[in-house]
Structure formats: C-alpha cells, structure tokens
C-alpha cells in the first residue's frame, strides 16, 4: 500500500470562463468541485490504476466531510484527522485564452491537540505501507519542520519517502534525506538560492542534493520536460506535446507515476517516460488528476 499525506487539503473548484476581466463581472460557463490537495490528487491517480492507497491529512467542516467521502468513493483508506476549522477551497479559473488563474485559501489553523492526534495516527499508518508520499503546503499552527520529523520516523521504520513540497517546508524536509524529491524549477531555484539558466545548471544542483544524501531528484520543468538525477546518472525526458487545457495537477501526475514505477521496479528512463505521458494526459483534460487512460496510453506509445 502507498500512503499519501496531505496536511493542507482542499476542495478544488474548477471554473471555466471565456476571459478573466479583473475588476468586472465574470460569468462562469461551468463549475466542477472535487477533493484535492497534492497527496489526494496522487491518490486519485493511483486508484485509477488500481493501486491500494491510504490517505492522511487534516480535514474540517463541510468541505472536509466532502473530501473524506470522495476518498472513500475512490476505494482508498481514509485516515484523516478531523479539526475544528474548515478545509479550504482552491479555485482554478480556466479561460479560453489558455490562462489558468488560481485562488488559494490559507486553510484552517491546527491546534497542538489536533497535531498530536495526527502524529498518533501517522504512527499507526506506518504499518500500512512501504512508500509514503508527503505533499503540499503546511497549514497554520504546524511547524515548518513537520515533514522532516515524519521522514525521520519513516526512515527509522525502513519506509521510503517521496517529498513534494516547496519553500521552507522543502528546505526543512530535505535535512532528513527523503528517498526522492520532486521540485519544480522554481522550487529548486528557491532551495539552492540562485537562478538556474539551463539544463546543466539543474543537473549540477540536483547532483549536490544527491551527494548530500537524497537518493533520487526529479525536477519538473513544465513544457521543458523532466530531469532525473541519482548517484549514477542524469536522464532528460522531453515533455509530450499536447493542446494544454489545464496544468493543475500535472506535477501530482508525475509523482503518482513515479510511485507506480518505484513499486514496479522500473528503470529511470521508463519511469520518466511514463511520468511525462501521465502529466501530459492530465494537461490535456479539463479535470484535475483524473485522466483518460486511452489518452495516456496513446501518449506513452507516441
């Protein structure tokens, strides 16, 4: 079983409009709401491929109940910690000109008692799986080094960890040497403190992270593709060319695909090809982290 942790999940609302006009009335053509947050997106994709998944995180209020119900309908195990505050809503505005505008709420503030209950549940879930996926932002009230403490416990129990976060949560998390990290280009630049102007720069900084104890670094570079670095090799995978409809969830698609490849023991080149194909399938569909398997197989073979 794969365990995903989403500390700050959301109800993801996708709104289609003709064109976003700031300061004016914008009428929606369609609105779709679904359970989201990076780890939940990963879980949704894994369930499309029938992998067993358990999902953790903080949920509260009506939105939190919606997320719990959605996770159970996926056929995943729900191990959420309920909190007093309301789970946030993230609104993605998709306009016909191709622009995607995201409105992200901060989410609830977590109390010490709620954090304690989450950590206790995490200890219980350590028995469920061999691979843990720690994703997304850290909610208010939770220390920035939370991912580091969770990674440390996983390592003590012989569990692999994929880490996909940003900012200080990423900086603190890598101190405990997760098995794999998947920063995008901006997140890697923040981490290393400088602009990375070309692929050689990215490889250089990724190799430093590997030398420091992280086994695998996968950098997602949007339309420029994916870059994989470990202690033996660096592999570049161009992005698959598609008509982009929605970029939200593309990074989560990469993480989900890497999870499947890791559990299957696939080579890095195959893992990157599959990750690029699943990410492109997500980009070419209006939903978030729910792809057409037919389109995915078409991209994989093309």
Burial 80-96 (b: 16+ CB within 10 A, else e): bbebebbbbbbbbbbbe
The single residue listed with the structure tokens 């982290």 is 289
**Domain at 2-21+28-301, CATH homologous superfamily:** Ribokinase (3.40.1190.20)
Any bridge partners for residue 58, and if so which?
81
Task: For residue 206, give the nearest of 180, 239, 244, 169 by alpha carbon.
Answer: 180
> How confident is the model at residue 25, as a pLDDT?
95
**215's tokens:** 């086994």
Query: Could you say which of 97, 230, 252, 269 is catalytic?
Result: 252
- Is the sign of the CA dihedral 13, 137, 265, 209 positive or negative? positive
Q: Is 198 in the active site?
A: no
- The percent helix, strand, coil of the chain (3-state, each to 5) is 40, 25, 35
Q: Give the integer Cα–Cα distance in Å for 169 and 4.
A: 16
Domain ranges of the chain: 2-21+28-301
Q: How far apart are the first and last CA of the chain?
A: 31
Q: pLDDT 10s per residue in the chain (302 long)? A: 999 999 999 998 889 999 999 999 999 999 989 898 999 999 999 999 999 999 999 999 999 999 999 999 999 999 999 999 999 998 989 899 988 898 888 889 999 999 999 999 999 999 999 999 999 999 999 999 999 999 999 999 999 999 999 999 999 999 999 999 999 999 999 999 999 989 999 999 999 999 999 999 999 998 999 999 999 999 999 999 998 887 888 999 999 999 999 999 999 999 999 999 999 999 988 777 888 899 999 999 97
289: left (phi over 0), alpha (psi -120 to 50) or beta: left
């Amino acid at each position: 079983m794969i365990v995903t942790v989403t500390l700050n999940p959301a109800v993801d609302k996708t709104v289609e409009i003709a064109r976003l006009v700031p300061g004016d009335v914008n009428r929606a053509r369609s609105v779709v709401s679904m359970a989201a947050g990076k780890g939940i997106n990963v879980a949704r994709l894994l369930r499309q491929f029938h992998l067993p998944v358990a999902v953790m995180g903080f949920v509260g209020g009506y939105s939190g109940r919606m997320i719990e119900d959605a996770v159970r309908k996926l056929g995943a195990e729900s191990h959420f910690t309920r909190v007093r505050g309301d789970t946030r809503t993230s609104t993605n505005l998709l306009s016909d000109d191709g622009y995607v505008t995201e409105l992200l709420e901060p989410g609830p503030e977590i109390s010490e008692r709620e954090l304690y209950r989450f950590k206790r549940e995490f200890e219980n879930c350590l028995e469920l799986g061999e691979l843990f996926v720690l994703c997304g932002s850290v909610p208010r009230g939770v220390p920035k080094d939370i991912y580091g403490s969770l990674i440390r416990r996983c390592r003590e129990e012989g569990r692999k960890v994929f880490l996909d976060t940003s900012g200080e949560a990423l900086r603190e998390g890598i101190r405990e040497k997760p098995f794999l990290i998947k920063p995008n280009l901006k997140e890697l630049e923040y981490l290393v403190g400088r602009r990375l102007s070309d692929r050689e720069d990215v490889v250089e900084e990724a190799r430093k992270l590997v030398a420091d104890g992280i086994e695998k670094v996968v950098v997602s570079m949007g339309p420029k593709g994916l870059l994989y670095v470990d202690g033996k090799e660096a592999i570049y995978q161009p992005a698959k060319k598609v008509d982009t409809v929605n970029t939200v969830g593309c990074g989560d698609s990469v993480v989900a695909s890497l999870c499947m490849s890791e559990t299957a023991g696939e080579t890095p080149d195959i893992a990157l090809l599959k990750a690029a194909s699943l990410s492109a399938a997500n980009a070419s569909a209006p939903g978030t982290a729910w792809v057409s398997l037919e389109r995915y197989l078409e991209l994989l073979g093309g």
